[in-house]
Amino acid sequence: MNDSVQQDKLAVPHSNGPTKPMTMIQALRSAMDVMLDRDPNVVVFGEDVGYFGGVFRCTEGLQAKYGKSRVFDAPISESGIVGTAVGMGAYGLRPVVEIQFADYVYPAFDQIVSEAARLRYRSAGDFTAPLTIRMPCGGGIYGGQTHSQSPEAVFTHVCGLRTVMPSNPYDAKGLLIAAIECDDPVIFLEPKRLYNGPFDGHHDKPVVPWSKHPMGEVPEGYYSVPLTSAAVFRPGQEVTVLAYGTMVWVSAAAAQETGIDAEVIDLRSIWPLDLDTIVNSVKKTRRCVVVHEATRTSGFGAELVALVQEHCFYHLEAPIERVTGWDTPYPHAQEWAYFPGPARVGAALKRVMEG
């Protein structure tokens, strides 16, 4: 990723207190550290998150600091992990649980959908489920079909859940703190290809670490990013690109490489959605491209296309384009044929400009 792409980004908001360079892993750990220290009701648990510090080391050192009663390991039972967290939340705790990979969440689906998402409604507001379910998602690491999925659309279809996906360390920490403080269950998806640095889709280029990017500069203390807020990641005038997670960086690279003045919107909160930011941008540019890594059919991009069509129809000068993963399992041998890279996004930008 070259310097001009780095500069075409959302300016890091001013925050009080000292900052230091952090990877996304370190920023997530810092968020949990801050909240464990601030609120004695916060507990962190999941498979290998205690002594081992998690498969990606996001919880490294937290058990040693806060003890085994607040940061602890769980059996290999996603349904048991989430079910226990629902009960904890109903009794006043604020559990933060880790599903080792988003691909492993499906055994917990009944607990998430039938219990966590419905608890406030079923109890007429007497109980809430203030739990945060963290899970690494997405491809780009040669994880194959069982370690690369992007299941966000499964959760956005469920009333009562919030679904979040950050694209950088600053947002990751602020959004995770906001998620832990939220009284609703939050599905917190972490694009693991971004854990150690921004990724523009060019897998054959050297990795750029977060320490060399302004968005890797993260406040050490407490701050939060509102869960319902999108961000203008790259200002532009000619076309709006709606993206989240890794695709934010890929879309910015595509704009850079095509020379098209695209405005890239980082949704951050996939649902609930910051519709005003989307509508204002599309009405300005009069064109729209939607990008996500998940499979195409019934992906969240379809909802975005429908919303843009509904709210911006008379402003559009070309059909809305979608760039997504294919309707196949994530292929190990053909990783980069599946992954929506800057070439595919750039081709969509050119098509929408010609429409």
Q: Mention every residue, 6+ apart, whose C-beta is less than 8 A from residue 37.
A: none
Query: Active-site residue among 14, 147, 157, 292?
Result: 147
How many residues belong to the chain? Answer: 355
- CB 62: neighbour CB atoms within 10 A? 20
DSSP 341: -
Q: E strands, the chain, where?
A: 19-21, 42-46, 71-73, 94-98, 132-137, 162-164, 186-191, 217-219, 231-234, 239-243, 262-266, 269-271, 288-295, 321-325
Q: H helices then E strands: how many in the chain?
A: 13, 14
Query: Checking DSSP bridges between strand 262-266 and strand 239-243, what pairing results, if any?
Result: parallel
Catalytic-residue membership of 315: no
H/E stretch holding 160 reads none
- How is residue 224 written in tokens? 């939060």
Residues noted as catalytic:
147
